[in-house]
């Protein structure tokens, strides 16, 4: 061999692009791995066919991500409780038609049979002709928050029932001013007043003396309760009615 003929091409820019792409993919993968929820891209068809879904879906549903790609063996439509499916579709399609982000809350059936509440945020990806191409979104588990919310709602319903149906007069008043905020139906029967809330503060309606008022203030501030104590209530017709008062202080957040 007497020699060779070759061509050298500068690939610095190509290497820089490849390096930048690799860094971008690493950042993207790191972000997906650390998000406390599922990232997805799907098609807006009848089954919301998944084109991509992050590995976090296995922790959320019990099924590996590969099962959801192209709805191979599982789809979110299949694991969503039937009574929530139609409501989701109405909300999603309405917001997509308006080019808005959507937010839905629904229940899914985990692979182990348990029911979990999830929240989903998403938006449509459109082309230059405003044609919907994909839906990108994020799904995360809100079971714990939902159970607290439902328990609180049940407690409020029980309290409201007790408040309305109790055979005792119940008043809600401000601690500092004594202003009455609300009363139950039994209060009107006891006092003879009609449906208006009393304008006078609670201590004025009852026959407190100064020593009792000071003891009441101190007891509520320190023990969050006061009574029972026997007092007199001024009836609308003028007579004094003996009553037994017990109070409890309701703390705010």
For 40-62, what is each residue's pLDDT tens digit? 999 888 788 999 998 889 999 99
Q: What is the 3-state secondary structure (H, E, C) of 148-185?
A: HHHHHHHHHHHHHHHHHHCCCCCEEECCCCCCEEEECH
Indicate the burial class of 136 (C-beta count within 10 angstroms; 0-12, 13-18, 19 or more): middle
What pLDDT is recorded for position 33? 66
Q: Dig out the tokens for 3 from the structure.
A: 């020699």
What pLDDT is recorded for position 61? 94
What pLDDT is recorded for position 122? 93
Name the helix (H) or strand (E) containing 103: strand 102-109
For 80-100, what is each residue's pLDDT tens digit? 999 998 888 899 999 999 999
Q: How far is CA 11 from CA 14, 33, 35, in A?
A: 5, 33, 36
- Closest to 51 measured CA to CA, from 65, 69, 67: 69
Q: What does the pLDDT profile of the chain (253 residues) look like in tens digits? A: 888 888 888 888 888 887 777 777 767 666 666 667 899 999 888 788 999 998 889 999 999 999 999 988 888 889 999 999 888 889 999 999 999 999 999 999 999 999 999 999 999 999 888 889 999 999 999 998 988 888 888 888 888 888 888 889 988 888 888 888 888 889 888 888 777 777 778 788 888 888 888 888 888 888 888 889 999 888 888 888 899 999 898 887 5
Question: Is the CB of residue 181 less than 8 Å from the CB of residue 191?
Answer: no
What pLDDT is recorded for position 214? 86
Distance from C-alpha of 92 to C-alpha of 97, rounded to nearest angstrom: 9
What pLDDT is recorded for position 156? 86
What pLDDT is recorded for position 32? 63
Q: How far is CA 193 from CA 187, 189, 235, 241, in A?
A: 8, 7, 8, 14
What pLDDT is recorded for position 205? 81
- List 135's β-bridge partners, or say none: 42, 124
């Amino acid at each position: 061999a007497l020699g060779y003929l070759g061509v050298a091409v500068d690939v610095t820019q190509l290497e820089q692009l490849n390096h930048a792409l690799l860094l971008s993919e690493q950042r993207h993968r790191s972000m997906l791995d650390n998000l406390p929820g599922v990232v997805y891209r799907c098609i807006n068809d009848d089954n919301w066919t998944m084109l991509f879904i992050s590995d976090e879906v296995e922790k959320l549903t019990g099924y590996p991500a590969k099962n959801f790609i192209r709805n191979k063996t599982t789809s979110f439509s299949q694991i969503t409780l039937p009574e929530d499916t139609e409501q989701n579709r109405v909300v999603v399609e309405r917001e997509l038609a308006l080019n808005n982000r959507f937010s839905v809350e629904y229940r899914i059936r985990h692979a182990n049979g348990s029911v979990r509440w999830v929240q989903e945020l998403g938006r449509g990806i459109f082309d230059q002709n405003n044609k919907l191409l994909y839906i990108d979104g994020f799904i995360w588990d809100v079971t714990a928050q939902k159970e607290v919310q439902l328990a609180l709602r049940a407690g409020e319903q029980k309290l409201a029932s007790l408040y309305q149906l109790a055979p005792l007069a119940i008043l809600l008043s401000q601690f500092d001013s004594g202003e009455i905020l609300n009363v139950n139906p039994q209060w009107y029967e006891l006092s003879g007043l009609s449906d208006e809330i009393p304008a006078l503060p609670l201590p004025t309606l009852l026959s407190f003396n100064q020593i009792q008022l000071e003891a009441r203030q101190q007891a509520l501030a320190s023990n969050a309760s006061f009574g029972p104590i026997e007092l007199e209530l001024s009836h609308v017709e003028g007579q004094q009615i003996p009553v037994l008062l017990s109070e409890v202080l309701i703390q705010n957040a």
